[in-house]
Amino acid sequence: MGNRGKPRGVSSSAAENLLPTGARRASGGAVRPGRAERRKLQRKVKRRRRRSAVKEIPLLVGVAVLIALVLKTFLLQAFVIPSGSMENTIQIGDRVLVDKFTPWFGSKPQRGDVVVFKDPGNWLAGEKTTKKNDPVVVKQVKEGLVAIGLLPSDNDKDLIKRVVAVGGDTVKCCDAQGRVTVNGMPLSEPYIHPGNKPSAFDFSVTVPQGRLWVMGDHRANSADSRYHRTEQYGGTVSEDSVVGRAMVIAWPWATGRA
């Protein structure tokens, strides 16, 4: 009679320690959670972790945007090539990474460098480009992503050419073999588009200090310094207008180095 109401097969002392939830009372009087309570506790912990992860997403996005802005402003920026003026070195649609870091330490463009620079004054009118006409909303979204460095720039105010001569140089074309010369020395230009001449017409220009003479590798399809000789500074480009030096073609990978 003394064990009435107690679980069958459980001693009197053990039954007294059982709680309604199935938990057991520890020897010191503390309650040890049962299996159901442990599962409930685990679910609570998982929910808290999920909420914590969701709360961290805006922070992670903010950090990513900040890093992209720093990279774009001070280190590297990607550009989409809209024209064929640098073929076959760089193709239409290639994504080129441009070094913006070294100019901060006084590094100046050298002969042979491929550089991106701001349009000195309506040069792009002579370039044949293949820019897409996106809907207004898509265009605005792209511009925003470009501004923070998450998309490559296809800015219609930037050009890409090769530096042929720098300040103080005299650049001429053509010598008896049809080559471009700098300070009387003929240039070896294996990068010129197959079938193109170094230049279809003669010119002779002394480059002012702080300026550059630039030409496209696809000489027959490049409205470069040669076509602006009658303008102020004789078709040369200011070093200050240079955005950076093209380092590598980021996409497609197979194209290789600029």
Active site residues: 85, 161
Q: What is the spatial distance between Cα 200 and Cα 127, in angstroms, rounded to a whole number?
A: 17
Q: What is the spatial distance between Cα 141 and Cα 69, in angstroms, rounded to a whole number?
A: 16
Q: What is the DSSP letter of 235?
A: G
Looking at the chain, how many residues does it have? 258
Residue 190, class by beta-carbon neighbours within 10 Å (0-12 exposed, 13-18 middle, 19+ buried)? exposed
Structure tokens at 7: 């679980």
The closest of 241, 243, 216 to 91, measured between CA atoms, is: 216
Tokens 């820019």 belong to 131
* Beta carbons of 206 and 169 less than 8 angstroms apart: yes
